[in-house]
Amino acid sequence: MTSTETILNLLRRANERRRTNRIFRELGIALSVTLPLPVLLKLWDLWSPVRGRTVAAILGVWAIAAAAVVIWRLVKGSGKTNLSEQAAELDLKAGLDDEIKTAYFFSQGSRQSDWIDAQMSRAAKTAQRLNLDKLYPRTIPKTLYTAAGLIAALAILNFLPLPGNHNWLFLDASPAFALNDAQLKLIQQAETLLQQAERLGETGIATKLQQIVQDLQQGKISTQEALAQLQQLRTELEAGNLDIGNVNEGLGEVAKDLARSTTLAAAAQSLSEKDLTQAAEEFREAADKVKDMTPDQLAEMQKSLEQAAENQRTGLEDLTNEMKDAAGAIENKDTELTKEELEQIADQIEALMKEMQAQGLKNDAADTLDSLEEALRQAQDDAEPGDAKDLELAKGGEKNANAQQGKKATAIPKGQGDAGGGNGQNPSGQVPDQPAPREGNATQLDVVLQQEELAAVQTEDEEKKQDLEEQSKQERAKLNYRNVTSDLTPAQKDVLNQNSIPWEYRELIKQYFQAIRPQQNK
């Protein structure tokens, strides 16, 4: 190998080594500059969970930016230095007093002399002696250690066994909306009821509810949108509602009329006891006995059926029509037709029973959805003050739902399984002892305890006054109106609901009454 080749070879090797080191250094810098962001984001996530979509968006932008920085630094670091510069640096590092630089310069020129040859020969010997491992040691830059530390920190933070810690490495992140236990319970309850209702004919409501909850948790819809959709779902549930109270009342009247016939007395008794299954059986038995009945019995049955058919109530139209047809068949002395009509009455009673059963389930589901809506709304409203109140309110909603569940109407037709139904419901299909379906957002009773001297308090001991002031200083009190115990009977509530004051006028009326209230002197 000639002197020139030796020198050039050394320079190329040094250049490559330097380039490698520079690439590592630049990579380390790029990573140590970019990695703190996800680590900080993860720390923030531990403090306040960040929803999956946000994490994905931030990390996506970060990944692009980080890639750009890394590429930029790598391109910057991978650029080859020209050999002249490399020679200068080598001279500087090895303290060679420009020997390699001079030799490289001479190697590139055509002017040769003995002295130049001698210089290059001496430089080549020096080049052979140089230890590149010492001059350009293969070191891992500190920045790479920093980057590795950050990566480790990110991994550790992801695997920290903390409640609510989501492991991003397994593509797990905080859901868009975190449902608490009470809300989840409400949803499960609603789903169960809807599934039962679906078995009785409703379609798709449970699936829609599942979809709403799923969308809410994935952040596809906001809480506000979820509330709107739940409202719509409830409206769907309430569409075509059967007025169970009215039906029950009608059945009672029908039973009274049918009781006048000795043949149908048993069926009437069953109807009056709301045992529709038994009533249907009784009608079938009566149908079987039609051939054996005397004309008097038939006349009696005809009369009672005619009277019963006159009870035209919503929901009982089909039944009363069948009774009317049966009465007509008896009048025509058509035994076969009479039998057939009585059997159809039995079928109608069974159909009515199923309809009432489904309606009961729907009502319960609607109530549960109502509680769920309320819990979500409270969670939305109280998002800033903290979750504690949210949980409390949700529990309140659950309590209500449980209470409603417990109050399954006493007038559910016997023998209709565990499916609930309502009794004494108002015309809109609501059970009277439950609140009427609300219009608009849930009402909140915002009580601001202000520091004012009340006449009643003024005469009492000072401690009560102190308590009031203390409450006022602490925070605004929010109470759900449903939690206020009411002394009204279901019937009274029914009346109130039937004559509900339009929502928008309530404040006005309240102000009116306050204005006309007799003023008390302090």
Footprint on this chain of another protein (rule: CB under 8 A): 84-85, 88-89, 97-99, 101-103, 105-106, 109, 113-119, 121-123
- Name which of 79 and 386 has its Cβ closer to another protein: 79
Closer to another protein by Cβ: residue 109 or 386: 109
Between residues 106 and 283, which has the closer beta carbon with respect to another protein? 106
Gap between the Cα atoms of 66 and 490, Å rounded: 66
Closer to another protein at the Cβ: 116 or 151? 116
CB of 79 to another protein, least distance (A): 15
8 A C-beta contact, residue 306 and residue 326: no
In angstroms, what is the minimal distance from the CB of 95 to another protein? 10
Nearest CA to 23 among 74, 84, 92?
Answer: 74
- Tokens in use for 162? 């903390």
Q: Where do we find the tokens 């549960």?
A: 368
Q: Indicate the residue among 84 and 458 with the shorter CB distance to another protein.
A: 84
Q: Which helix (H) or strand (E) holds 444?
A: strand 444-447
- 250: Cβ contacts below 8 Å, ≥ 6 apart: 311, 313, 315, 316
Residues β-bridged to residue 447: 477
User: Strand pairing partners for 479?
Assistant: 445
Nearer to another protein, 70 or 116 (CB): 116
Other CB atoms within 10 A of residue 469 CB: 14
Minimal distance in Å, beta carbon 10 to another protein? 16
Q: How far apart are CA 275 and CA 279, in angstroms?
A: 6
The Cα-based distances of 483 to 167, 371, 396 in angstroms read: 40, 12, 8
- Of 69 and 116, nearer to another protein (C-beta) is 116
Q: Which residue bears the tokens 């990566």?
A: 151
Taking the complex as a whole, the smallest distance from the CB of residue 1 to another protein amounts, in Å, to 16
What's the residue count for the chain?
A: 522
Give yes or no for a contact between 439 and 238, defined as CB atoms under 8 angstroms apart: no
Nearer to another protein, 3 or 143 (CB): 3
Shortest CB 63 distance to another protein, Å: 38
| Burial of residue 318 (number of CB atoms within 10 Å: 0-12, 13-18, 19+) | middle
Measured from the CB of residue 117, what is the shortest distance to another protein in angstroms? 6
In the bound complex, what is the minimum distance in angstroms from residue 40's beta carbon to another protein? Answer: 41
Amino acid at site 150: L
What is the smallest separation between the CB atom of 25 and another protein, expressed in angstroms? 20
Q: How far is the CB of 100 from another protein (least distance, A)?
A: 10
51: β partners: 174
* In the complex, least distance from residue 24 CB atom to another protein, rounded to whole angstroms: 23
Phi, psi angle pair for 453, to nearest 5°: -90, 120
**Cα 425 to Cα 193, 198, 223, 356, distances in angstroms:** 19, 22, 31, 12
116 or 132: whose CB is closer to another protein?
116
Give the nearer residue to another protein in terms of CB position, either 34 or 86: 86
Cross-strand partners of 445? 479
